[in-house]
Amino acid sequence: MAKISMKVNGKTVSGDVEPRTLLVQFIREHLGLTGTHVGCDTSQCGACNVHYNGEAIKSCTILAVQADGSEVVTIEGLAKPDGTLHPMQAAFREYHGLQCGYCTPGMVMVAVDIARRLPGADEETVREELYGNICRCTGYQGIVEAVMAGSEAMQTGVLPLKEHH
Amino acid sequence: MGQYGIGQPIRRKEDARLLTGNGRYTDDVNLDGQAYVYFLRSPYAHAKINEIGLADALAASGVIAIYTSADLIADGVKPIPCEANAKSLKGVPLFKPPRHALAFERVRYAGEPVAMIIAETYNEARDASELIQIDYEELPAVADTSRLADADAPVVWDDLDSNVGLHWETQESAVSEAIFKTAYKTVELDLLNNRLVGNPMEPRCAVSHHDAQTGRTTLYAPSQGGRRVINAIAKDILNVPPQSLRMVSLDTGGGFGIRSKTYPELVLMVWAARKQPRALKWRADRGETFVSDAHGRDQSTKASAAFDKDGKILAVRNETIVNVGAYLSENGAILAMMGGGKIMGTAYDVPVLYFSVKSCFSNTVPTDTYRGAGRPEVNFIMERLIELGAEAFGISSIEMRKRNFIREFPYKTQMGCLIDSGDFPGTLDMTLEKGDYAGFEARKAESKARGKLRGIGIGYYVEGAGGRPFEEMRVRFEKDGKVKIFAGTFSHGQGHDTVYSQLLNEYLGVDASKVELIQGDSDTSPKGAVGTFGSRSSMMGGVAIKRASEAIVEKGKKIAGHLMQTEPTKVTFKDGVFHGGSSSVTLEEVARAAQDPSKLPEGLEGPLDESYYYERQGESQNFPNGCHLIEAEVDPDTGTVEIVKFTAIDDCGTVLNPLIVDGQVLGGIAQGIGQALVENTVFDNETGQLLTASFMDYGMPRASDFPMIGIYFNSVPSPTNDLGVKGAGEAGACGAPPALVHAALDALKGYGIRHIDMPLTPEKVWRAIQAAKSGKAA
């Protein structure tokens, strides 16, 4: 067993883990933060994306012990404490970027990362950037629209609303 | 139409919860003292089990129990029943082999569960599984669908002479043959409809526990409405009273048809929980999900069409082999005829149809209903025949479609579906206009300048949505002002909470924030509830909610009349308010009064709590239809097919919430494009091993596989239900595949390539191009 400690969603947490414990297992099973999901076992699906020292990573790709001393933000840490959605979360709702919700936390975490790294990214770039995240429900259209609109909202503070035909 | 009523693109009530990590899926359930389950699965596709040695595994660290089929049989656990029924023309019924929850005497597909290991931790259960010694005697396996009915194919079930579990056919064989002999032109095509893995993003998972005090067992598992599943486990398999079992489905991460089944693991989790004093938890990884969920499609078809001199269809012949896998899952053996055959002809007037299905066993994972369940298959066949017919006549396929479209409704298909409504020519024209068909040649020239071959393709579909024409809903006004809907339909991404709230807003004027959907619990779902599949929730559940609302109004009028001292027959109701003479009283006030016996008229009991069991007479389905238009660019050097323009016009009847219906159509399209472009389930034909059992091997569609898709509606309300709705979920899976294949073939026209089986991977397309160049075009 190894003792680890890290900052998760702004709070310092610690735990005793088997060395083989993945970061996602630590987050879900030790910390009880079940918003981070596991959708595969080959690091393809992206449902387990979190922010690790400010960057989106698949939390199944590193061990919990590797994350010792790091700063992690999970989907639970994105909205304001009063429940106000992060602009990207609001964009996913506005553009129907989710159906069953299982891939959603990972999608949102990656979307925020895309918006930070590539503000104003065009549609093609957003689609390429989402390569590591699989959604089975939406056909991605709402997600792509949400990433672009959410990105704009993160810059301007105003979420462009979806237009209906 | 109110601000929150029918037809508004209301943002979903579900989303805030799901977006903030507050969804609750089965893997998020952990019960005190739970032990962990691991299923040991067969490494062979076909083998005799000579002996199972458990001693070492039982002695391993942390192991609590290990079960095999011997334990099930000793305990009187029955095989999982197959409710499908069908007979051959000669009256021979479908062969239904016993499917024990754990393999009995033989394994018949790689991945079949053989032993259930329960241990203190998941890792201990998994480690112990490696100590189980099984003496397998490997037998020849068969996986290749087109070979299953061959005389020399290995036979999966000794009770049969071949793998044909049922040869089902219509009577028109001789009639149609005669027509083909004298027809002006005929076309014929062999095609494969590729096997697909549904792959909901949430892997398989279940938690169970038995309460010794109450004698009840609770199963937590994702589903599409668990009442049918848990009833089957109780009545047909474990022989215990249904009320002794409860199934709870929390948030469910996708279903797509395959999550509605009575799977072996669910049976075992319930049964073992009743043997063990501990709660049990099983969580499959993706690889295990690949072999434990039912698969979809997998048909091999020979189809032909006969035309008169004007290009009008005279007859269609269709002979299909469907690969049902090693055992019969619920509807795998009949979906080709009951799902597909019944609407064969699809959008076209087909006066004579011969339709034959051989449901064949193989050493593969069982197949069953998956997004469309038989309808995508026949739509693909029919659209291919139309295109080939157009080619044979040297006319455009648009013209060919128009010459053959059904134009008068209701129209009875050869196998007895009554297509209620539609505007097929109008929908086609609207598609061509919205998709700027006229501008295609210019875009093609522009592509050519970049070295790309651009093609355009149409997929017109008609699908039969619904089935099982009954559903019950209960609407109850609570003391705290909330209005609860108790449902047996089950939203696993479809946004029922939002849409059902819109219905209550429309019919009762109830504020959507006050509506609470109670679903996914066999204890609270109404007795007459069925579940969510086949795009049936609005057309069945929605109507039941409307009628339960009407019953609320009727009862409300009596109470309102009493409160206003007006004759109830003179009370009217509008937008949440009862009016009588010059007085009025709100539904809220009436609901509150209904909680107080002193305010009720004599003989009436509160609260406002009405159930409605809706049973539809006549045609049990309705018929969403539409036209999908795709432009694709093919890179002749690499064989890559890229979708560059996509326009979809759908007739889903009345649209309750365009945001959500768009989402349903888009999701169906993504799965249709997945089938046509990247998804393929590959078995090794010698060993029967599944070669595509991870996201590294199985092509899941990605965001970069799609352009922005133009979604529009040409709605013709269905006259067969109160809401006028038609299904929406399966539209895309029916329309997109033929449209994509036709676009690619149109791009490849210069090579004379007649057909390529899905998926159109770069390798396949490249090979077809090379073959064509060397004079061996497909």
pLDDT more than 70, % of chain B: 99
Assess whether A22 and A69 both reside in one domain. Answer: yes
> Which pTM value belongs to this model?
0.97
pLDDT tens per residue, range B132-191: 999 999 999 999 999 999 999 999 999 999 999 999 999 999 999 999 999 999 999 999
Q: Looking at A77, A96, A119, which one is the last position of a domain?
A: A77
Please name every residue paired with B243 in a beta bridge, in sequence order, or none if there are none.
Answer: none
**CB of A16 within 8 Å of any CB in chain B?**
no
Residue-wise pLDDT tens digits, B238-282 = 999 999 999 999 999 999 999 999 999 999 999 999 999 999 999
Residue B584, domain CATH = 3.30.365.10
Q: Give the CATH number of the domain where residue A62 resides.
A: 3.10.20.30
Residues B283-337: tens digit of each pLDDT: 999 999 999 999 999 999 999 999 999 999 999 999 999 999 999 999 999 999 9
Residue A84, CA distances (Å) to A150, B120, B121, B498 in order: 14, 41, 39, 20
Same-domain pairing of B438 and B474 = no
| B548-586: pLDDT as tens digits | 999 999 999 999 999 999 999 999 999 999 999 899 999
Query: What are residue B551's phi and psi, to 5 degrees?
Result: -70, -35
Residue B511, H or E segment: none
- Tell me the sheet residues that pair with B15: none
pLDDT at A11 over 50: yes
Domain co-membership, A92 together with A151:
yes
Among the candidates B594, B615, B636, a domain finishes at B615
- Cβ proximity of B696 and B677 under 8 Å: no
Residues B412 and B315 in one domain: yes
DSSP letter assigned to residue B539: I
Q: What is the 3-state secondary structure (H, E, C) of B92-149?
A: CECCCCCCCCCCCCEECCCCCEEEEEEECCHHHHHHHHCCCEEEEEECCCCCCHHHCC
**Cα B655 to chain center, whole Å?**
20
Three-state SS at B494: coil
- Asked if the Cβ–Cβ distance from B15 to A93 is below 8 Å, we say yes
Residue B84: CATH number of its domain:
3.90.1170.50
Q: Do A93 and B19 touch (CB under 8 A)?
A: yes
**In this structure, are B628 and B544 located in the same domain?**
no
Query: Which burial class, exposed, middle or buried, applies to B323 when counting CB atoms under 10 A from its CB (0-12, 13-18, 19+)?
Result: buried
Contact indicator for B720, B732 with CB cutoff of 8 Å: no
Q: How far apart are CA A19 and CA A25, in angstroms?
A: 12
- Please enumerate in sequence order all residues whose Cβ is within 8 A of that of B4, keeping only pairs 6 or more positions apart, or say none: B10, B501, B502, B505, B511, B512
> Cα angle vertex B733, ends B730, B737, to 5°?
155
Is B760 a member of any domain? yes
pLDDT for B2: 61
C-alpha B761/C-alpha B777 separation (Å) is 17
Q: Is A60 helix (H, G, I), strand (E, B) or coil?
A: coil
Structural domain contains residue A164? no
Dist CA B590 CA B577 (whole Å): 9
**pLDDT at residue B777 greater than cutoff 90:** no
- Position A165 scores a pLDDT of 66
Both B596 and B716 in one domain: the answer is no
Query: How many domains is chain A built from?
Result: 2
Q: What is the rounded average pLDDT for all residues in chain A?
A: 97
For chain B, the average pLDDT equals 96
Specify whether B422 is located in the same domain as B374.
yes
Residues B458 and B559 both lie in one domain:
no
User: For B399, what's the count of Cα atoms within 13 Å in the CB-facing half-sphere?
Assistant: 10
- Shared domain for A71 and A12, answered yes or no, is yes
How does pLDDT run across A116-162, given as a tens digit for each residue? 999 999 999 999 999 999 999 999 999 999 999 999 999 999 999 99
Instruction: Give pLDDT, residue B776.
Output: 73
Q: What is the pLDDT of residues B395-404, one digit of tens each?
A: 999 999 999 9
Q: DSSP labels for B284-332? A: --HHHHHHHSPEE--EEEEEEEEE-TTS-EEEEEEEEEEEEESS--SST
Residue B703 at interface with chain A, using a CB cutoff of 8 Å: yes
Token digits for B530? Answer: 């069925």
* A82 within some domain: no
Distance from CA of B705 to the nearest CA of A (A): 8
Under 8 Å between Cβ of B623 and B464? yes
Mean pLDDT, rounded, for B598-623: 94
A11 & A52 share domain:
yes
Q: Which two tokens stand for residue B227?
A: 């009442």
Chain A contact for B1 (CB, 8 A cutoff)? no
> In which band, very low, low, confident or very high, does the pLDDT at B775 lie, cut at 50, 70 and 90?
confident
pLDDT band at B31, cuts 50/70/90? very high
Which range of residues forms the domain containing residue A102?
87-156
Provide the domain limits for residue B301: 295-466+619-773
Q: Which residue is associated with the tokens 């109008």?
A: B426
Is the complex ipTM higher than 0.85? Answer: yes
Could you tell me if residue B207 is inside a domain? Answer: no
> What gap in Å lies between CA B691 and CA B680, rounded to an integer?
10
Same domain, yes or no, for B460 and B474? no
Give the integer Cα–Cα distance in Å for B366 and B370: 12
pLDDT above 90: percentage of residues in chain B: 97
Nearest CA in chain A to B491: A100
Contact criterion met (CB below 8 Å) for B399 and B204? no
Establish if B699 touches chain A: CB-CB under 8 angstroms. no
| Judgement on whether residues B322 and B269 belong to the same structural domain of the protein | no
Residues A10 and A47 in one domain: yes
The answer to whether A94 and A159 have CB atoms below 8 angstroms apart is: yes
Shared-domain flag, residues B279 and B303: no
Say if A13 falls within a structural domain: yes
Confidence at A164, pLDDT banded by 50, 70, 90:
confident
Chain B residues with beta carbon closer than 8 angstroms to that of A140: 670, 701-703, 706
CA nearest B672 in A: which residue? Answer: A139
pLDDT band of residue B391 (cuts 50, 70, 90) is very high
Looking at the predicted structure, is the pLDDT value of residue B1 above 60? no
Same domain? For A68 and A91 the reply is no
* Distance between CA atoms of residues B12 and A154, nearest Å: 22
Number of H helices and E strands in chain A, helices first, is: 5, 5
Q: How many domains are contained in chain B?
A: 3
For residues B752 and B661, state if they share a domain.
yes
Taking the C-alpha atoms of residue B610 and residue B604, their distance in angstroms, rounded to an integer, is 13
For residue B138, the tally of other CB atoms under 10 A from its CB is 13
Looking at B585, B615, B645, the residue that finishes a domain is B615
Domain check: are A91 and A131 in the same one?
Answer: yes
**Residues B123 and B272 placed together within one structural domain of the fold:** yes
Instruction: Establish if B599 belongs to a structural domain.
Output: yes
Could you report the per-residue pLDDT of B691-721, keeping only the tens digit for each?
Answer: 999 999 999 999 999 999 999 999 999 999 9
Same domain, B86 and B132: yes
Instruction: Please identify, among A56, A77, A98, the residue that sits at the C-terminal boundary of a domain.
Output: A77
Considering the domain boundaries, does residue B211 fall inside one?
no
Among the partner-chain residues B201, B493, B712, the one whose CB lies closest to the CB of A47 is: B201
Q: Provide the pLDDT confidence category of residue B471 given band limits of 50, 70 and 90.
A: very high
B648-692 pLDDT per residue, tens: 999 999 999 999 999 999 999 999 999 999 999 999 999 999 999
Are A89 and A79 in contact by the 8 Å Cβ rule? The answer is yes
pLDDT tens for residues B350-381?
A: 999 999 999 999 999 999 999 999 999 999 99
User: For residue B280, what are the β-bridge partners?
Assistant: B35, B208
